[in-house]
Amino acid sequence: MDSAPLPAPADKTLLRFLTCGSVDDGKSTLIGRLLYDSDAILADQLETLERESKKFDTTGEDIDLALLLDGLEEERQQGITIDVAYRLFQTKRRAFIVADTPGHKQYTRNMATGASTAELALLLVDAHKGIVTQTRRHSLICSLLGIRHVVLAVNKLDLVDFDRSTFDAVAKAYREFAADLGFRSLQAIPISARFGDNVARTSPRVPWYDGPALLDYLETVEIDHRDDMTGFRFPVQWVNRPGPDFRGVAGTIAAGTIAPGDPIVVTGSGVQSRIKEIVTYDGPLVRAATGDAVTLTFSDDIDVARGDVLASPKSRPEFADQFAAHIIWMWDEPLVPGRSYWLKLGARTVPATVTTLKHRIDVDNGSHVAARTLALNEIGLCNLSTAQPIAFDPYAKSRETGGFILIDRLTNETAGAGMIDFALRRASNIRRQAETIGADARAALKGQRPAVLWFTGLPGAGKSTIANQVEQKLVALGNHTMLLDGDNVRHGLNRDLGFTDVDRVENIRRLGEVAKLMADAGLIVICAFISPFRADRLMAREIVGPHDFIEVFIDTPLEECIRRDPKGLYAKAQAGEIPNFTGLDSPYEAPEAPEVTLATIGHDADALADALIDTLRERGIIG
Amino acid sequence: MSEAAAFSTHLKRLEAEAIGVLREVAAEFRNPVLLYSIGKDSSVLLHLALKAFHPAKPPFPLLHVDTTWKFREMIAFRDRIVAKLGIELIVHTNEEGLARGIDPVASGSALHTQVMKTEALKQALDKFDFDAAIGGARRDEEKSRAKERIFSFRGAGHAWDPRHQRPEMWHVFNTRLRPGESIRVFPLSNWTELDVWHYIAAERIEVVPLYFAKMRPVVKRSRAWIMVDDQRLPLDPGETPEQRLVRFRTLGCYPLTGAIESKAATVEDIVAELRQARQSERQGRLIDSDAEASMEKKKREGYF
Ligand SMILES: Nc1nc2c(ncn2[C@@H]2O[C@H](COP(=O)(O)OP(=O)(O)O)[C@@H](O)[C@H]2O)c(=O)[nH]1
């Protein structure tokens, strides 16, 4: 076995492509046909297929090749494709990974998923329907996701008697439409997926077509991998340190090439060194390139961690905490500007917010529409801000270092995907003014540690009453305080805000920033806001940053609040006079792990305030 | 490095993708484990893990869910490889299932798989509190697999909800979990059976000898050759094992794993044979032919 020749032809390449088109254009049939004609379908699978074709009775006597693809029981029964499916087949020349994505409008997110790793799009149109809205939408998404090679398969040509002018008209219309979508190659092929014309072999029924058959084209089309768009990029995935004798960083080269002796810089810290060795299990390499998974060691002992990006010093990536990006929203709950999400790009995960939603893109025609949120499957151009600066490249230059996902912080759902366009401000240019007198010095003078006490609870729970008591007691003890009350702030700083989800987030963001400034001034800041959403309280906590943040849950059951109703608000809301009233038609999310819970039933405000003062003393905030 | 250089670019890309996935698991999860089923896919997976973390050892243990009905040669191979590499191996058996007398012959394949594989796996994952389990499943194996993510989210109770999968963009994987949730990770998602064998050949990876043709004692059961691996396989009256030149395309519990008649005695022979093959490898697994949606059903219940 040792001396046996390798059976794999050394030059077999891999092409990842995506199929798209509207429902019933024949996508599944076409892929089934490609698999069938390239012998990727084995005898027992064919047997199952014949059985199922009879059972679902979709194509009469023939076997229905589309049934090869619809993998979920539900899909087979309903004859629709729900989710992106990945199919593998190989010919002598190439291996293919096909992402088969659903055509329905509501599945934009699945299409984007399939497109994110595809190098080419196989776009189907039905010859006698021509270019439809769905065709335009899918082309736009492909373009946005950086696909640069397109095959336009004009299908069901059998239904128009293989008429040349029909094909020519569709191909021409599409070329005109796609002119500014940035495609570098566009090949139109007349086919019949059902009968196999021009799929694996050119067909005598289409004598006027002198181009390649589809499979032939897919086997030979040149895909440039655009390594030269950025310099060397290496997102550090894993620090490999088995013992004192070895320290290397492992990752996959996102762009460029590297060789021992080459200089590198750690983006962010700016620390430079040289590559000592490219370590692999098979021995050291003299050179490694885009897509290689390697481990690097350096000639100096430099500080590098997961999430850092190594780059060539001569062409560094952007390093910024504010940038513009196109975002595709992928989750049922809409994007809320101002809300904090996790942003993951390469091996880096940081809190991030959308600061401005500039516009939504109408994917049917590419036009820009004003918007305040993005709903599931909508696409918009946004400005984002991250809690720490991150290294990236524009997506158009590098998918690997320019594409990110947004994760909802409470449910962990993948909520959106983003493609970075450009940095808004280089982080290095907005270095903060160094303060000579710090928060600690200011607080020390007051004999206390600054802190933010964040009261949350239903309307009428007792927040304001207890907060006031606490402040009185603190002042009596000689501490320096400031009380921010939700209702009061809405008359001034936040009087431009209403009670929609978006406005509530902005309300809390501003209050968080104000609380932080006051804590910087050395004060103990008492905030009494309903702040109904966990995500937003989390955001406030992050804004307040290094200062102590004490979330105080004023725990009063809803029935009790309604019974007390000190300001008569529940009565009004129940009469329909106040829409979006928290506790009634707008939800209140109780804290999962507050620092302090004050259950009000059976205790008076004074005793509860004392309890909180004790906590502050225990935590060393007051003397 | 001449070996790897001789790979096709296609295999090299698959290898790099899998290594990237394994490193991401090590970096992102609290307590990952590699599901080692002793078969060829597991052997490839283990080899990739050695490569991914070299010169360190893989930073996670191996877990073998043993039904007690594996081929004897599989267990011998497992113990030898693990000893050679010095990697921690956890072996888990559903003792309660054993006590109930569940076995693949008398209880039937469906019940046996449910109790001794699916339930056993869940027990082990819960017992050791693993938050990520790496497995060798491939998308070309079966239709519902084609829809599965590389990082496949499992809710509480390990259930797979095909209607509710996290979109997977680029190679940016969402690995965040809440208590009780876990993720199954499939680094070989984009490999085909042929890729696996090409890779085994190129990398000279050791696999269980059962994959290679040899004279073995077998009996014919519903269109498949079943090997009489030990005394536990009840023979029908008049049924006598015969010696045939056979090999296995997949390995599992011996009474449920059909052999094929073959002369392929080396990896190269197998590759050549596969090029001609007109049967998919799952055909050797008796559990799948129950119903065409059976894999999806098993996966929803937490099967690998
Ligand atoms: N006449 C004809 N019918 C086709 C052709 N391709 C697909 N179809 C039929 O169009 C219908 C929809 O095909 P399917 O592959 O399920 O479409 P999908 O929704 O795009 O996946 C099915 O009834 C197919 O049999 C073709 O080339 N010619």
Give the burial class of A303: count Cβ atoms within 10 A of its Cβ; 0-12 exposed, 13-18 middle, 19 or more buried: exposed
Asked if B3 lies within 8 A of A282 by C-beta distance, the reply is yes
A89 → chain B, closest CA residue: B192
pLDDT exceeds 50 at position A279: yes
Percentage of chain B exceeding pLDDT 90: 61
- pLDDT score at A623: 82
Identify the band that residue A118 occupies on the pLDDT scale cut at 50, 70 and 90: very high
- pLDDT score at B5: 37
From A436, A469, A445, select the one nearest A552 (Cα to Cα): A469
Average pLDDT, chain A: 86
pLDDT exceeds 80 at position B3: no
- pLDDT score at B158: 83
DSSP state of A621: S
Q: Which of B2, B48, B143, B296 to mutate to test the interface with A (most CBs of A within 10 A)?
A: B143
Across residues A531-553, what is the average pLDDT? 88
Question: Is residue A531 annotated as a catalytic residue, yes or no?
Answer: yes
Beta bridge partners of A472: none
Nearest CA of chain B to the CA of A417: how many Å?
A: 7
> What does the pLDDT look like over B199-208, one tens digit per residue?
999 999 999 9
- pLDDT score at B289: 43
pLDDT exceeds 90 at position B58: yes
Amino acid at A535: A
Q: Is A156 in the pocket of ligand 1 (CB under 6 A)?
A: yes
- Asked whether A366 and A140 are in contact (CB, 8 A), the reply is yes
pLDDT exceeds 90 at position A166: yes
d(CA A155, ligand 1 centre) in Å: 8
- pLDDT score at A54: 58
Facing B169 at nearest CB: one of A70, A83, A405: A405
Percentage of chain B exceeding pLDDT 70: 88
| Three-class secondary structure of residue A601 per DSSP | coil
- pLDDT score at A36: 77
* Location of structure tokens 């082309």: A139
> What does the pLDDT look like over A455-492, one tens digit per residue?
999 998 999 999 999 999 999 888 999 999 877 888 88
Strand order, beta sheet including B132-134: B89-92, B62-65, B32-35, B132-134, B182-185, B151-154
Q: Which of B147, B148, B190 to mutate to test the interface with A (most CBs of A within 10 A)?
A: B147
Across residues A380-387, what is the average pLDDT? 94
Chain B CB contacts of A405 below 8 Å: 169, 172, 174
From A155, A40, A44, A150, select the one nearest A97 (Cα to Cα): A40
Q: Is A560 in the pocket of ligand 1 (CB under 6 A)?
A: no
Q: Is A194 in the pocket of ligand 1 (CB under 6 A)?
A: yes
- Residue A70 at interface with chain B, using a CB cutoff of 8 Å: yes
pLDDT exceeds 60 at position A10: no
Mutate which of A18, A24, A126 to test ligand 1's pocket (most atoms within 8 Å of Cβ)? A24
Asked if B146 lies within 8 A of A399 by C-beta distance, the reply is no
Q: Is A76 in the pocket of ligand 1 (CB under 6 A)?
A: no
Higher pLDDT, A58 or A342: A342
Asked if B147 lies within 8 A of A85 by C-beta distance, the reply is yes
Q: Is A132 in the pocket of ligand 1 (CB under 6 A)?
A: no
Identify the band that residue A32 occupies on the pLDDT scale cut at 50, 70 and 90: confident
- Residue A280 at interface with chain B, using a CB cutoff of 8 Å: yes
State the count of interchain CB pairs (< 8 A) between A and B.
208
- pLDDT score at B106: 85
Which atom of ligand 1 lies closest to the CA of A80? 19
- pLDDT score at A4: 38
Chain A CB contacts of B139 below 8 Å: 86-88
- Residues in Cβ contact with A568 at an 8 Å cutoff, skipping those fewer than 6 apart: none
**Cα–Cα distance measured from residue B300 to residue B295, given in angstroms and rounded to the nearest whole number:** 9
Amino acid at A436: T
Identify the band that residue A547 occupies on the pLDDT scale cut at 50, 70 and 90: confident
Asked if B268 lies within 8 A of A345 by C-beta distance, the reply is no
A317-326, A466-475, B133-142: segment of lowest average pLDDT: B133-142
Asked if B268 lies within 8 A of A112 by C-beta distance, the reply is no
- pLDDT score at B204: 93
Give the burial class of A469: count Cβ atoms within 10 A of its Cβ; 0-12 exposed, 13-18 middle, 19 or more buried: buried
Q: What are phi and psi of B225, to 5 degrees?
A: -90, 120
Q: What is the pTM of this model?
A: 0.79
What's the ipTM?
A: 0.87
B137-140: Cβ within 8 A, 24+ apart: B137/B41, B137/B186, B137/B188, B137/B189, B137/B304, B138/B41, B138/B186, B138/B188, B138/B189, B138/B190, B138/B191, B138/B192, B138/B193, B138/B196, B139/A86, B139/A87, B139/A88, B139/B189, B139/B190, B140/A87, B140/A88, B140/B191, B140/B192, B140/B193
- Residue A308 at interface with chain B, using a CB cutoff of 8 Å: no
Residues 200-259 of A with CB under 8 A from B: 237-238, 240-242, 246, 250-252
Query: Which among A90-99, A198-207, A443-452 has the top mean pLDDT?
Result: A198-207
DSSP states of chain B: -HHHHTS-HHHHHHHHHHHHHHHHHHHH-SSEEEE--SSHHHHHHHHHHHHHHTTSPPSS-EEEE--S-B-HHHHHHHHHHHHHHT--EEEE--HHHHHTT--TTTS-HHHHIIIIIIIHHHHHHHHHT-SEEE----GGG-TGGGG--SEEEE-GGG---TTS----BTTB------TT-EEEE-TTTT--HHHHHHHHHHHT----GGGS-EEEEEEEETTEEEE--STTSPPPTT---EEEEEE-SS-SBGGGBEEEE----SHHHHHHHHHH--S-GGGGBTTGGG-TTHHHHHHHTT--
Q: Which of B1, B2, B3, B10 to mutate to test the interface with A (most CBs of A within 10 A)?
A: B10
A196-210, A292-306, A423-437, B43-57: segment of lowest average pLDDT: A423-437
Across residues B181-186, what is the average pLDDT? 94
pLDDT exceeds 50 at position A61: no
Chain A CB contacts of B292 below 8 Å: 48, 51-52
Across residues B264-268, what is the average pLDDT? 93
- pLDDT score at B122: 92
Across residues A260-272, what is the average pLDDT? 93
Asked if B169 lies within 8 A of A344 by C-beta distance, the reply is no
Identify the band that residue A5 occupies on the pLDDT scale cut at 50, 70 and 90: very low
Identify the band that residue A69 occupies on the pLDDT scale cut at 50, 70 and 90: low
- pLDDT score at A105: 61
- pLDDT score at B298: 65
pLDDT exceeds 60 at position A153: yes
- pLDDT score at B244: 94
- Asked whether A78 and B152 are in contact (CB, 8 A), the reply is no
Across residues A308-336, what is the average pLDDT? 93
Instruction: Please count the other Cβ atoms lying within 10 Å of the Cβ belonging to residue A77.
Output: 12
Across residues B142-157, what is the average pLDDT? 84
**Cα–Cα distance measured from residue A561 to residue A578, given in angstroms and rounded to the nearest whole number:** 16
- pLDDT score at A6: 39
Q: Is A65 in the pocket of ligand 1 (CB under 6 A)?
A: no
Percentage of chain A exceeding pLDDT 90: 54
Asked if A44 lies within 8 A of B279 by C-beta distance, the reply is yes
pLDDT exceeds 70 at position A173: yes
Residues 45-64 of A with CB under 8 A from B: 45, 48, 51-52
Nearest CA of chain A to the CA of B155: how many Å?
A: 12
d(CA A198, ligand 1 centre) in Å: 15
pLDDT exceeds 60 at position A59: no
Give the start-end residues of each E strand in A105-229: 120-126, 149-155, 185-190
> What does the pLDDT look like over B282-296, one tens digit per residue?
455 444 444 444 666
pLDDT exceeds 60 at position A42: no
pLDDT exceeds 50 at position A564: yes
Facing B16 at nearest CB: one of A109, A293, A407: A293
pLDDT exceeds 70 at position A220: yes
- pLDDT score at A177: 92
Across residues A332-348, what is the average pLDDT? 93
Catalytic residue among A28, A139, A192, A531: A531
Identify the band that residue A7 occupies on the pLDDT scale cut at 50, 70 and 90: very low
Ligand 1, atom 2: nearest CA belongs to which residue? A156
Higher pLDDT, A67 or B95: B95
pLDDT exceeds 70 at position A67: no
